[in-house]
Amino acid sequence: MREFLSALNRVRDRTSMKQQSALLTALLSILVVAAMTTATTILIRDRAVGIANHQMTDLAQSMADRLDQEMFERFREIGNFASLHPLRDSWNGDPEAIRRLLDQMQRTLPRYAWIGYASLDGKIQAATGGTLEGVSVAERPWFIAGSQATSALDLHEAKLLADILGPSEDGAPFRFVDVAAPVRDEAGNVQGVLGAHLSWSWAQSVRSYLLGALEPDLRTDLWVTASDGSAILGAPYGQPVLSPGQLQIARQTFVGGEGDGTYLAAAVSTKGFETYPGLGWIVVAKRPMSVVLADANRVTLAIVLIGTFAAVTGIAASFLIAGRVTRPLTRLAADADRLGRAAAETSVFDRQRGSSDILRLSNSLRSLMRRVDSAESRATEVRDLMERTEQAHSVQTLEHRETVRRLRYLADTDPLSGLMNRRSFLGDAQDVMAFYRRYDRTFAVLMIDIDHFKRVNDAHGHAVGDEVISAVGRVLAELARETDRVARFGGEEFVILLREIDSASLTTWAERVRRAVHAAVVATEAGPVSVTVSVGATLVSADDRDVEDVLRRADVALYRSKSNGRNRLTVSPARTAE
């Protein structure tokens, strides 16, 4: 773990904040897209399976209902035919007459493969087409069950009929469902059994009809199983289709396996219908899972592609955003790197924007530089005092004294505007701050910045820009009182310290400054030029630690003036924590 953290720290030290921010944002984008894609895919697949479950259950239920209704009709027909009152005297009569009745019934209902009447001893007395007449069926299940009550027997192969009927069209053995009913005399005694073999082909017809209504691409199939779960329709006859556990549930869906694939299936048990008790058949509707999930897979693929595109777009955007966010830090680092390498004019931190944190850092660095300049100015003053003391002993002429005065003037004055420079201003400002703390004599600070000054330089050249700075300095100097201090802090930024002033007078005075600059027209070699200024103003507060707090608050007010459209005044009424 320690080695991992060490390696991670080495990577972090070798990558920029822009790269780290971009990578973290990209990772977050990928995780969010992956989570949304996964969740959406699961919901879509679950919905697809749910719809298919519903369709399979409905299909299986339709097949089960049709089987029950068909068997009920045959069950009722045989029972009714066997109990017809007009025929009671005919069952033990002429076999030829009974055969004609049975043939007529078969022609009316061709699904009956064979209908026959057996006497109580089990001998076939008459049958459709004369088939099996004279043959004993006393041991056959349908005869035994039919002698007790109207009965239906499960699917089976009829060997005697198979030999007579020959092979079926598809070569499969003939299979039948038996329906039988007792024939009673006037006294209600059983005198014989009417039995019918219902051809299983009718069930195949129902299956084909239901499947034919579906789209072939759905590859849906229908199975019918006996009560023990072995196939009797659809799947190979006798093949186990349902497990013992699945047989315990009458209505269910499950996923099964078939060859190399899986399928979704719904099983529905037949329940019988009215007087028909049912034979316990189970209908299974099934569809390959590949078909069930085909649409879901296509949608999932589209989501994955869209998600991938969104992730890639997010990564690209994160690099752009990270570059924009960290650009102010890069500029501050460049400004710091230039300190001590360039002229004093360029050794001031430019105000950077982008966030409140960046603005706070920028203002703190600017304030730091002013405090450093102030400390340097104090050291310079001490050195100057020592030099002046030494010179006082050696300089005897007025010419030498004038030279010293001029040197001090040059050290304290901005050469371009003729105003105080930052070093000399901070010295006087600290004295005013000390005076305020001792005698509670209030003062205010105005931070002034020429709007869009870069455009002046770009349009007319730096020489014209210098003329504009000089002209603005003259306007400010003309407005100042004798007790006020006006300085140029560098570039296009000016500062005014106003003594003996209150809040109302501060606003009036600051607005006068702004309007005076706005009204001034600077005559330059490129023609007349007009500029505006943004002003930030504040009064000293008892909570201010030093004059830097006052300057910093005025600087923040200036920033707000420029952010709100320029050529305006913003007054910060009290100390804030920007």
Apex 541 CA angle, 538 and 546, nearest 5: 95
Q: What SS3 state is found at 184?
A: strand
What phi and psi, each to the nearest 5 degrees, are found at residue 540?
-65, 145
- Residues 446-462 have pLDDT tens digits of 999 999 999 999 999 99
* pLDDT (0 to 100) of residue 25: 75
Q: At what angle do helices 422-439 and 356-394 cross, to 10 degrees?
A: 100
Q: How far apart are CA 310 and CA 506, in angstroms?
A: 54
DSSP state of 171: S
Structure tokens given for 187: 């006294």
* pLDDT (0 to 100) of residue 163: 65
The answer to whether residues 210 and 229 touch, using CB atoms and an 8 Å cutoff, is: no
Q: How far apart are CA 479 and CA 463, in angstroms?
A: 25
Q: What is the pLDDT along the chain (578 residues), one digit of tens a residue?
A: 777 776 776 666 667 766 777 777 778 878 887 888 888 888 888 888 888 888 888 998 999 999 999 989 989 988 888 888 777 777 878 889 889 888 988 888 888 888 999 999 999 999 998 888 889 989 989 999 999 999 998 887 766 666 666 555 555 677 889 999 999 888 888 999 999 988 888 888 888 999 989 888 888 989 898 888 888 888 888 888 787 776 765 556 666 665 557 888 888 888 888 888 888 888 888 888 888 888 888 888 888 888 788 778 877 777 777 777 677 777 766 776 566 544 444 445 666 666 666 767 767 666 666 666 655 655 566 566 666 665 655 555 555 556 556 666 666 788 888 899 988 899 899 999 999 999 999 999 999 999 999 999 999 999 999 999 999 999 999 999 999 999 998 889 999 999 999 999 999 999 999 999 999 999 888 889 999 999 999 999 999 999 999 999 999 999 999 999 999 999 997 664 44
